[in-house]
């Protein structure tokens, strides 16, 4: 853990109490060093199942396992003192029944130290959310574009346009009534996100939604520019680290081939001849 923690870790109740207050700052993290950086600036750090695509090169989140989430959850926990750590429940770990969801959510929290779990789905997941919350497991809901259902949705499309807005609004109301402490709104029209934010007593966290949401979240690798080829419309690049890393590696390769690295400053002299 970080040394000299400035204050206690935030809880799900703290996040819920921020409704209508200062916007919640949220990012994903999958490793200890990145978690340490995020913890200095964020209220909530999500160990997202996006780790499958970001770090493991998988084509979607569907192949992510409980073991992967636990491995990365433990790594992130070592870097967090202040932010609430939330861990995604991976595909097929909670959909079968509320009892299955409880077993896996309890395992995630016990083995990672997470303060909450996140699961995808609206009205059809309300019973499961209520079951978990009643048994002491804080739940962050996720509606709109739900990546684990990408095949059923027909791709990564905006959700809630036109007549479909009523469906998303009902999903939002259902997860809030079931006891979720906050809800992610992914890739929904801004006007709908604003309407949902006004209608709910719990914070909304937007990703491709609206600046009017109670908070925002991005995949940290996206906002740091670690991917060159793909940039979703809702992602702002705050850095371009992939280009910087490519330049650094190219320079290293050039110096190795020219035998200019390692230089005398980077090697060790014989014993008694100096450092």
Going by the annotation, the residues of the binding site are 49-50, 88, 118, 120
Binding-site annotation, residues for 3-methyl-2-oxobutanoate: 49-50, 88, 118
Secondary structure class of 60 (helix, strand, coil): coil
Distance CA 203, CA 21 (A): 9
Residues with Cβ within 8 Å of 98's Cβ and at least 6 positions away in sequence, in order, are: 127, 128, 131, 132
In this structure, what DSSP letter does residue 91 have? T
186 catalytic per annotation = yes
Contact, 84 vs 64, CB < 8 A? Answer: no
Distance CA 78, CA 94 (A): 26
Burial class (CB in 10 A: 0-12, 13-18, 19+), 127: middle
Binding-site annotation, residues for Mg(2+): 49, 88, 120
| Catalytic residue from among 63, 127, 186, 244 | 186
Instruction: Give the active site residues.
Output: 186
């Amino acid at each position: 853990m970080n040394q000299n923690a400035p204050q206690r870790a935030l809880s799900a109740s703290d996040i819920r109490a921020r409704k209508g207050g200062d916007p919640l700052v949220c990012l994903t993290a999958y490793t200890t060093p990145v978690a340490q950086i995020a913890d200095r600036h964020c209220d909530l750090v999500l160990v997202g199942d996006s780790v499958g695509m970001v770090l493991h090169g998988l084509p979607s989140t569907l192949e992510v396992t409980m073991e992967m989430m636990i491995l990365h959850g433990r790594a992130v926990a070592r870097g967090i003192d202040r932010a609430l750590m939330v861990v995604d429940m991976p595909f097929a770990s909670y959909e079968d029944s509320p009892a299955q969801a409880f077993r896996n959510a309890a395992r995630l929290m016990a083995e990672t130290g997470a303060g909450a779990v996140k699961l995808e789905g609206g009205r059809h997941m309300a019973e499961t959310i209520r079951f978990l919350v009643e048994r002491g497991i804080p739940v962050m809901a996720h509606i709109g574009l739900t990546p684990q259902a990408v095949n059923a949705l027909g791709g990564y499309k905006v959700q809630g346009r036109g007549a479909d807005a009523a469906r998303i609004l009902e999903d939002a109301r259902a997860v809030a009534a079931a006891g979720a402490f906050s809800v992610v709104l992914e890739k929904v029209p801004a006007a709908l996100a604003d309407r949902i934010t006004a209608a709910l007593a719990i914070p909304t966290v937007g990703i491709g939604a609206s600046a009017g949401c109670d908070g925002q979240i991005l995949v940290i690798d996206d906002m740091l520019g670690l991917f060159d080829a793909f940039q979703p419309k809702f992602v702002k690049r705050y850095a371009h680290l992939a280009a910087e890393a490519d330049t650094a590696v190219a320079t290293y390769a050039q110096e190795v081939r020219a035998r200019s690295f390692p230089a005398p400053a980077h090697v060790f002299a014989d014993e008694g001849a100096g450092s």
